[in-house]
Structure formats: structure tokens, C-alpha cells
Structure 1
Amino acid sequence: MSSLPSGRAAAPAPSRRRRQRRALPGFGLTLGLSATYLGVIVLLPIAALLLHAASLSPAEFWAIVSSRRAVATYRITLSSAFYATLFNAGFGLLLAWVLVRYDFTGRRLLDAMIDLPFALPTAVAGIALTALFARNGIFGQWLEPMGIKIAYAQPGIVIAMAFTSLPFVVRTIQPVLEDLEVEIEEAGHMLGATDGQLFARVIWPVLMPSFLAGASLAFARSLGEFGAVVFIAGNLPMRTEITALLTYIRIDEYDYPAAAALATVILLSAFVMLFAVNALQLWQLRYMRRS
């Protein structure tokens, strides 16, 4: 074995684990900042809400959330959010498909308009919808004589919820469609698969997780919608009054514990729905990996 020349220091052995340079600070700092932001913006308001609700006794809490007026708002809110999500699930899927798979004049404009409900104040959306579907509105003056009542009825609530939650479905499905390779579909056609078989066995299994995620986000957004609904709903107790509006009425009456109790019901409903959808997505992903 040859020895090193005298007077020359031995070069240090290269480290096995080279420390990678990162554009952002280390894990501890980024995790701490993220946890702090999450705690202040999300967890702290939820904790304050639950604290107000906890000030009620179980009997008082149940009396508030199970009152006849409150139950009517649950029925109107949940059914309207369900119908709006059902419409957005189908229409949003078709709209995302058109934007990804077809090139036509005005495509970029249509794609930009999808985000309009995000930028538009919900109160402005409610006023615009009321101007369209009120009795003397552009469409309402023709629909009401035919017996079709939109404004100040549940169909108006559904339309307002669908308007504000549509982007969640489209923007969740669109990236998955863009990443879906067209060559797979062409190979399926060459093997003799029909369009229906190709969609059911190739495209839909890939789209299903994002489809469920978009629909669940749209449903959760519809549950909490307020500004667009109050203008077109008419806010008639037992008929067109949503839970968010009843919560606002209780706050306006300075009955904060009652408002917190009603808000807790909405919060728990959204959590249960999101948990169920995430569980379904997890099961579907595991099924795809096994198959």
C-alpha cells in the first residue's frame, strides 16, 4: 500500500449524507410557522365557537338545535346544498371535459369565467340573481306566469348555491383530465372498446377521487353560503330560511350561545361529510392499487 507524499495533508473523506440546500428554511421552522398560522386562522375561531356552545347545558343546547324553526332550516339548507351539488357534479364534469378536450373560439374566456364566483362578492351574486329571477326580473317575468317560482323559493336557493360552488368541481377535475394521457384512450379504441366502456373502465376510475373531492368541497361551500342566498331566498321562516341566516339572526339578537349552537351543527355536518368522502376516496385508491 503506497503512503501519502510527505507535506501533503490527506483530503477529507466525502460525507455519505450531503446536506441538501433548500430554498425554504428547515423542517422545524416551516412546520412551526404552518402550525401557528393554522392555529390562529382556523383552530382558534373553531375553539371559540365550541367554547360558546359549551356554555350551554345539554338540555339548552338540544332545545336550541332541535327547535321547529331550526329543524326547518336544516332541511332547507341540506336539501338545497344536495341539489346544487348534484347539478354541479354533472355540469362541472362536462364543463371541465369541454375545456380540456376541445379547442374552440372563446375557450380562454370561458375558462377565466369559471373563477368569477371566487372573485365576485357573494352579495353581488345574490343581487344579480334576484334581478334575473324576481317577479319583474329578466327571466322571472316570463317564468312566474307559467307557475315557475325561482326567487323567494327553494329553487332560488339552489341556483345561488350552485353559482358560488361550481368552480370547486371544475378546478378539481380539470388538472386530472389534463394529465390523463390520450394514448391510453387510443389504445383502448384499437383493442375494440366502445366509448362507454373506455369511460367506465379507464377514464372514470382516474377521475373518481378528484370528482368526489370537488363535489364534497362544493357541498361544504353550499352549506355555509350566506350572501348570495339571503337576497334571492326571501328569508321566510319555515320556508326559505337557511341555517346560516338563523345563526346571523341570533347574533343580531346578541344570543351568542344560541348562534354558536346552530353553527356547531353546520360545522359537524361539514366534518362528517368530508370524513365520509375522504374515506370513500381512500377505499377507491386502495381498490385501484390492488386491481
Structure 2
Amino acid sequence: MKITIKQAASLSLLIAFLCIVAYSCKRDNNQTIKEAQQGVPDAVKNQIASLGYDTRNIRTVDGGYVVEGDIFLSHNSLNQKSTSPVLRVANSEQFQTTCLITGLPRTLTVSVTGLPSGYESATDIAIARYNALGLRISFVRVSSGGMIDIQYASLGAGALGQSAGFPDCSTGNPPSPIKLNSDANALGSSPDQNYLATVIAHEIGHTIGFRHTDYFNRAYSCGGFPYNEGQAGVGAINIPGTPTTADPNSWMLSCIGNGVNRPFNANDIIALRYLYQ
């Protein structure tokens, strides 16, 4: 979902094929990577690395940067200091960020703006998956002005969605908007409903404080280089009770195949209930 893989030129076509079905698993050749990095100061890269994010294929956008394919970091967020404990090198447990949604029990509103009607139905499916767990955080779709607004945006090739980041540490509110890629052939005007619901549920997961299940090695779901951010991964805190072995069906895996449906599995439910029940 999030990474750019440097590969030999002879493998570039294969990489492009593997990534077209991923959330944001964009892989380019070395020249494209160099172009993507132009204009990002070394000091910014160091700040991003200190927060525990992959510094390859950073994209400069209005108000900040996009890292790992679908995570927005504002200029202000780069200066935030984490209060989380020192992290060990991860396995494949579920991970939370330092800050979570607060003021529980709480209902978060979700709106869908400028998208085909099928996207509203898929959003309802994603919301129902969360609400079925009886958590102290729930969701309801509203016609407009939701705390989390789902929009279309041109994100370029290889990405399906992009969250606006993680919960605000000072307010305990979710970030907004969630952007779904208008350039992605895998989405379009009438994608498979459960597949789209999985994409939306994944991005909502980021907004309430979940990192990727394969944060330690996004090659697990995306293929390619086995990148591990290790103990520098501030803001990726292991959720107790989740597995230390590979979890092939988690809704928070970095990448997903076209048309794949990933409702919450048993380990996902453990993680969600640990944080919000």
C-alpha cells in the first residue's frame, strides 16, 4: 500500500503489474523515484524518518507530504514529539498510533462527497462492519459535512486510497478527508461493493489510529523489497493479544488484490476491541 520499491530495470514491468491491484503500493523505476524525491529537503526526510515512516517516494502535496502511499503528514505534524515507549522491531501484530480517538463513547459521522451512489452503499457496508462489534466508537453516514468526508481525488497510478493521517493528538478527533483515487481502474464508477468497502474500512482504520498489520515488512502483502522500519517506528505500538505470526487476511494489510474482500478477521476484532471496547 505504501512503498516504492527500487528494482532493476528488467523487473519494472513485473512490479507495475503486481502493484496495479494494491491500495497504494506504487513501484517505479529508479529514475521515477529520484524525480519523486526532488524538492524534499533532507531535513524533512529526517523528520519523517524520525516519526517512523518510509522515506522513499515521499510526495509533496498541498499543506505537507504523503508517505507510504496513503498517509498525509502536515507540516505541523512533522514537529510533533511522540510520548510512546521505545519500540521493538515489529513482527506482524496489529499496531496502533500514539494518539487515538477520545471522548468515548462517541459516534463519528461519515459523508461521501461527489462520488457515484455505489460508493455510498460501500461506505454503509464498511460502517456496518465497525458497528457490528459493539465498540465505544461507532459511525453513521450523513448526507454532507461528516467528520470524515470521503472524496474523489487524482492520486496517480498505483494508489487506491489515501487517508488524511491519524487522530489529532490535541483534540482526539479523526482527520479528514479520505481520498479515493479517481485514476484507479480498479475502482471506477461501479466497483465490487465488498472490495470497495474493504478499501474504505482500511482508510477509516487509519483515521482511528491503526497502522498497517505488516508494518514490519510490507513486502508481505505488496511483494518486492522487505522493508522494515524497526525500532525507529514511533507511532506503531503493538496491540497486545494480536498474533506474532503472519496474518494473511487482516483489513489493515498494506496491499490488497483487485476484487478481494477482507472483513475483520479474529485478530482484527481483538485489536479493535482492545482499543475501543
The TM-score bracket by the shorter chain reads under 0.3
Q: TM-score, normalised by structure 2?
A: 0.26
Greater Rg, structure 1 or structure 2? 1
Which protein is richer in helix relative to its size? 1
Which protein is richer in strand relative to its size? 2
Q: TM-score, normalised by structure 1?
A: 0.25
